[in-house]
Amino acid sequence: MQLDAEDSKLVTLARSARARTGAAEGAAVRDDTGRTYVAATVALPSLALSALQAAVAAAVSSGATGLEAAVLVGGSADDAGVAAVRELSADATVNVTDRSGAVQ
């Protein structure tokens, strides 16, 4: 599957977040105004979030009320963050890729 240029940027951002932190996953979301939010897996004793959950949380805490697209690198389609994306925008595009960025 070939991603459009904007979704390819999300893959690049998500891969960078994962690589920078050494996390299992990286994620990026684009809100309905075009702003992007990036996160990696959070694995603390007191807080555990998938990368996609963390990216959605960053978007919501910055005032986003809808999402256009989301990318999860190194995760799976049953990630809890997918439900969070759908809660904000049922029609948002969600792409899950392997660590190299290839869409699964």
What pTM value is reported for the model?
0.94
CA distance 98 to 30: 19
Each residue's pLDDT tens digit, 77-101: 999 999 999 999 999 999 999 888 8
- Look at 29 and 77; give whichever has higher pLDDT: 29
CA distance 99 to 19: 9
Q: What is the pLDDT of residue 104?
A: 80
What does the block give as tokens for 57? Answer: 């949380």
Q: What is the pLDDT of residue 35?
A: 98
- Rg of the chain's alpha carbons, rounded to an integer? 12
**70 close to 27: Cβ distance less than 8 angstroms:** yes
The mean pLDDT of 40-59, rounded to a whole number, is: 97
Name which of 60, 72, 53 is nearest 31 in CA terms.
Answer: 60
